[in-house]
């Protein structure tokens, strides 16, 4: 129902992994002395001690460069964290008719989603429903989550969704649905339909 | 010759433009547009609520309409509720034509654009809730 930043995570983790792998391999090569053997001992400063009394790495760099580098890394981290927030990606307003000479017809996808929810909630066995429309008015995508009562007939409910709820939406939009995703949940609460019954008792005057 | 004929003969008819003018408020057009939408189409409005909060959909309410006038040309904006499921493009096209035609017919103001916003969609109630008296 919600979009996660899965592809971006994988890309950046692969890049970070390659960088760290390269750094690890380099440190192993240097520490084991293989690098010195490969280069024939021609590395500059190979015999110097790693820690000396001279200025450290941070002290040789200007303070502003360290500061800017830190800020950039911090912003990148912040951007990555924000990108992790799951997004609904709901559609913006559907424009059903757009003719500047005659007028514009707008319909909010939430209005259609509420109608679909009402429609789905009236099916037997459905406790509650939640709908979200994405895409455009010409190729709408529907995500529908149904909560069914534990005694409900799941196949029957799905059949009714396919035969009533989805055709009603495509009839309203006058285009076939591009995709329709249905998620099912089961709940112990009683279904909405079935809370009232038509009385068939005899009226005695 | 009767008295009436004498009077008409004595007072010549004045030119049309000298007899006064009729001006209509914007609100008249708004009310006509929303009444036409309610009475002659399937559209409905909202009732109740305070400052737009807590209002509910009602097929027997007048939809909200606002009019912008530029001389003798009006552009309308209506917020309607429609029954579900109806083909929305078709229903709003009929609504647009109906409102534009009737407002022009009743007021003489040319309606150029009718922008329609669908605010809610409800299944049409099985009965209107009112009993028909035979």
Cβ–Cβ below 8 Å for B121 and A114: yes
How high is the pLDDT of residue B1?
Answer: 47
Q: Do A174 and B84 touch (CB under 8 A)?
A: no
Query: What's chain A look like in SS3?
Result: CCECCHHHHHHHHHHHHHHHHHHHHHHHHHHHCHHHHHCCCCCCCCCCCCCCCCCCHHHHCCHHHHHHHHHHHHHHHHHHHHHCCCECCCCCCEEEEEECCCEEEEECHHHHHHHHHHHHHCCCCEEEEEEEEEECCCCEEEEEEEEEECCCCHHHHHHHHHHHHHHHHHHHHCCCCCEEEEEEEEECCCCCCCCCCCCCCCCCC
Q: Output the pLDDT for position B115.
A: 93
CA-based nearest residue in chain B for residue A93: B117
The pLDDT profile of chain B, 134 residues, written as one tens digit per residue, is 455 555 555 667 777 778 888 888 889 999 999 999 888 888 888 887 777 677 788 888 889 999 999 888 999 999 999 998 889 989 999 999 999 999 999 998 999 999 999 998 988 876 655 565 66
Q: Which of B87, B116, B120 sits opposite A111 (nearest CB)?
A: B120
Interchain pair A118, B118: CB under 8 A:
no
- The SS3 call for residue B129 is coil
The answer to whether the CB of A181 falls within 8 A of the CB of A142 is yes
- Nearest one of A51, A53, A55, A34 to A43, comparing CA atoms: A34
Q: Report the residue from A101, A103, A169 with minimal CB separation from B116.
A: A103
| CB pair distance less than 8 Å for B114 and A111 | no
User: Given an 8 Å threshold on Cβ–Cβ distance, is A106 in contact with B118?
Assistant: yes
Mean pLDDT for back-to-back runs of 10 residues, chain A (205 residues): 80 94 91 75 62 64 86 93 83 82 90 92 89 89 91 89 92 91 88 69 71
Q: Which residue among A101, A172, A174 sits closest to B84, beta carbon to beta carbon?
A: A172
B83 in contact with A, Cβ within 8 Å: no
Give residues 23 to 52 of B whose Cβ lies within 8 Å of A.
Answer: none
Do the Cβ atoms of A105 and B120 come within 8 Å? no
ipTM for this model: 0.75
């Amino acid at each position: 129902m919600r979009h996660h930043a899965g592809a971006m995570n994988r890309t950046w983790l692969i890049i970070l992994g390659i960088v760290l792998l390269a750094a690890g391999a380099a440190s192993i090569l240097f520490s084991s002395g293989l690098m010195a053997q490969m280069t024939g001992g021609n590395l500059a400063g190979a015999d110097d001690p790693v820690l000396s009394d001279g200025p450290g790495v941070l002290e040789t760099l200007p303070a502003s460069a360290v500061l800017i580098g830190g800020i950039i890394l911090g912003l990148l981290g912040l951007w990555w964290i924000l990108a992790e927030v799951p997004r609904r990606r709901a559609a913006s307003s559907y424009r059903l008719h757009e003719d500047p000479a005659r007028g514009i017809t707008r319909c909010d996808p939430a209005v259609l989603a509420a109608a679909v929810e009402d429609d789905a909630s009236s099916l037997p066995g459905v406790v509650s429903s939640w709908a979200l429309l994405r895409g455009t008015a010409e190729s709408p995508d529907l995500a529908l989550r149904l909560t069914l009562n534990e005694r409900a007939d799941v196949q029957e409910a799905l059949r009714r969704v396919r035969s009533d709820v989805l055709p009603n939406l495509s009839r309203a939009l006058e285009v076939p649905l591009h995709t329709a995703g249905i998620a099912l949940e089961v709940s112990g609460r009683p279904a909405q339909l079935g809370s009232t019954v038509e009385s068939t008792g005899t009226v005695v005057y | 010759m009767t008295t009436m004929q004498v009077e008409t003969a004595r007072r010549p008819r004045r030119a049309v433009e000298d007899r006064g003018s009729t001006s209509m408020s914007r609100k008249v057009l708004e009310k006509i547009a929303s009444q036409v939408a309610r009475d002659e189409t399937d559209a409905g409005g909202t009732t109740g609520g305070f400052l737009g909060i807590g209002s509910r959909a009602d097929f027997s309410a007048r939809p909200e309409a606002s009019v912008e006038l530029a001389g003798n040309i009006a552009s309308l904006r209506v917020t309607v509720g429609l029954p579900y499921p109806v083909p929305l493009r078709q229903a709003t096209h009929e609504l647009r034509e109906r409102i534009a035609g009737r407002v022009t017919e009743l007021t003489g103001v040319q309606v150029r654009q009718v922008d329609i916003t669908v605010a809610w969609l409800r299944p049409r109630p099985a009965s209107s809730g009112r009993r028909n008296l035979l």
